[in-house]
Amino acid sequence: MVDLALSEEFSAVSSREAALKRFGRSDMRFRLMTLGAALLVVAIFAGLMVSLLRGAWLALHTFGWSFLTTTVWNPVTGKFGAFAAIYGTLISSALAMLLAVPLGVGIAIFLTELCPRALKRPVGIAIELLAGVPSIIYGIWGLFVFAPYFQQHVEPWIIDAFAGIPYLQDLFAGPPYGIGTFTAALILAIMILPFISAVTRDVFETVPPMQKEAAYGVGCTTWEVMWRIVLPFSRAGVVGGSMLALGRALGETMAVTFVIGNAHRINPSLLAPGTTISATIANEFTEALGDTYVSSLVALGLILFGITFIVLAAAQLMLKSLDRRSGGKAP
């Protein structure tokens, strides 16, 4: 009997050891798989950087810093400068964010705090469906529907409204083209609005209900609850959603190409035609003849990649600064 009991106990211990070894091997395989996925992302990033640098080297070596500071873009003479495209990219994206972020956050507040239950789901689905519309559809709609209406009914009013006001009269000077930087910014704002509102709404819904109920219990208004409780708790998500939207705005191609005018010059008026990095690449890459021309377009892609990286890094630094001020810990 004693031998049988010892044998059963030894068998149980052996089974537990075998199970632990099996679980250990499974855990090791899982770690190796996740490590491989992470290294694959790093390898893709490195390969992309190397390809862009190799492709852009001829233009950067030929033009030097003047490639970033000049606006000349003349394939006939072989002179290329990226400043007009960089300017158009930054201005159109900044205007789009200036318009879309407050509206998107406002929509998220309405859906989470103020919207009647019967409307919450239909409105939320309608907003999310906008994110699935292809960008070329936005471009076609912007060119054939929005731009003509904007030219005939909105731009003349804007030009007259700011006439005689210093700085603003130059910023919104005519003639009304319909297409231009401001039109592209409006189309971009419509395109990125679903990203901001959807992500912000989901983040707002993660706020613990007890915190909001406690604030309401001590007499706070809805505005105070959102400003003092919900936004501080979810600021990382709000910034993340905004950065996701900004990434699409910076790299958007087809919709902007249709409505921005594709003019390689800098005009102080937002109503005048301009260009962006992605629009320039889309318009001219198939027609690029000569190594310098192709290299200049690849250099534009490298610059856009760098701008996106800088924006994301700045967002992370901003989040860490906000967390330090609040005494929290940055993710």
Query: In the structure, what pLDDT confidence band is assigned to residue 262 with cuts at 50, 70 and 90?
Result: confident
pLDDT attached to residue 238: 86
* Distance between first and last Cα of the chain: 59
- For the cut 50, the answer to whether the pLDDT of residue 2 exceeds it is no
pLDDT (average), residues 149-174: 88
- In this prediction the pTM is 0.84
Q: How far from 265 is each of 209, 229, 323, CA to CA, in Å?
A: 52, 46, 41
Indicate left, alpha or beta for 276 from its phi (over 0: left) and psi (-120 to 50: alpha): beta
pLDDT attached to residue 88: 93
Q: Which of 14-28, 87-101, 127-141 has the lowest mean pLDDT?
A: 14-28
- For the cut 70, the answer to whether the pLDDT of residue 267 exceeds it is yes
pLDDT attached to residue 214: 87
pLDDT tens digits along 28-86: 888 889 999 999 999 998 898 899 999 999 999 999 889 999 988 988 888 999 999 99
Structure tokens at 133: 């519309």
pLDDT attached to residue 330: 40
Residue in the block written with tokens 């798989």: 33
pLDDT attached to residue 56: 92
Q: Which of 21-30, 126-135, 299-308 has the lowest mean pLDDT?
A: 21-30
Structure tokens at 320: 């860490």
Whole-angstrom distance, CA of residue 211 vs CA of residue 226: 11
Which has the higher per-residue pLDDT, 20 or 103?
103
pLDDT attached to residue 115: 83
Structure tokens at 248: 């699409």
- Percent pLDDT > 90 in the chain is 30
Whole-angstrom distance, CA of residue 69 vs CA of residue 81: 7
- Name the fold adopted by 64-326: MetI-like fold (1.10.3720)
Q: Return the bridge partners of 73, or none.
A: 80
pLDDT tens digits along 182-213: 999 999 999 999 889 888 888 888 888 888 88
pLDDT attached to residue 83: 94
